[in-house]
Amino acid sequence: MVHAFLIHTLRAAKAEEGLCRVLYSCFFGAENSPNDSQPHSAERDRLLRKEQILAVARQVESMYQLQQQACGRHAVDLQPQSSDDPVALHEAPCGAFRLAPGDPFQEPRTVVWLGVLSIGFALVLDTHENLLLVESTLRLLARLLLDHLRLLVPGGANLLLRADCIEGILTRFLPHGQLLFLNDQFVQGLEKEFSAAWSH
């Protein structure tokens, strides 16, 4: 089961300007803080969820930066050569790390992330998921989002104002956080269905 999905910015290592920004996040079902009967607990719970997501995003960013540094890839490499270049998604760096219980979620969690140029995609999961399925699902989601939002094409749409498209993709390919075993033709079918619904 996936607990949360997030899209956020990735900065090059040692980048001075800017902060790590969460561009989209979604919890699939949520657990509220226990033993909390304070009047403002709803607001506090929401704040807590947002902080949790940001904590994951920051950790992903630093893992990404460390991995990129280790491979000797630096900021200059982050620019695509030209807008026609298909992004080599199967070569996009990815990784996994564990979140200890209480930091920031009550239960222990696994985070699997994928870095595509300056965008990070991450799934927050139970600790015993099938990580091969997780990885291919994450790559699939990233591919669909990049294609349909034309994120990497200059002049393309900004994903901040295309939540319907992200939601439409998630509803089909990760419904309620359920990881699906989808073969290639199944994916194509769902994608056609999605395109049809979004074309008019």
Residues between 118 and 137 that touch another protein (CB under 8 A): 118-119, 126-128, 130-133, 135-136
Least distance between another protein and beta carbon 55 (Å):
12
The tokens for 191 are 């994608």
Least distance between another protein and beta carbon 191 (Å):
10
Quick note: the x/- pattern for another protein over 83-122, rule CB under 8 A, is x-------x--xxxxx-x---------x-x----xxx---
Least distance between another protein and beta carbon 33 (Å):
9
The answer to the question of residue 150 lying near another protein (CB under 8 A) is no
151-190 residues in contact with another protein (CB under 8 A) are: 151-155, 157-158, 160-165, 167-168, 171, 175-187, 189
Q: What is the 3-state secondary structure (H, E, C) of the chain?
A: CEEEEEEEECCCCCCCCCCCCEEEEEECCCCCCCCCCCCCHHHHHHHHHHHHHHHHHHHHHHHHHHHHHHCCCCHHHHCCCCCCCCCCHHHCCEEEEEECCCCCCCCCEEEEEEEECCEEEEEEECCCCCHHHHHHHHHHHHHHHHHHHCCCCCCCCCHHHCHHHHHHHHHHHCHHHCCCCCCHHHHHHHHHHHHHHHHC
52-81 residues in contact with another protein (CB under 8 A) are: 54, 62-63, 66-67, 69-72, 74, 78-80
28 vs 104, beta carbon nearer another protein:
28
13-52 residues in contact with another protein (CB under 8 A) are: 17-18, 21, 23-32, 41-43, 45-47, 50-51
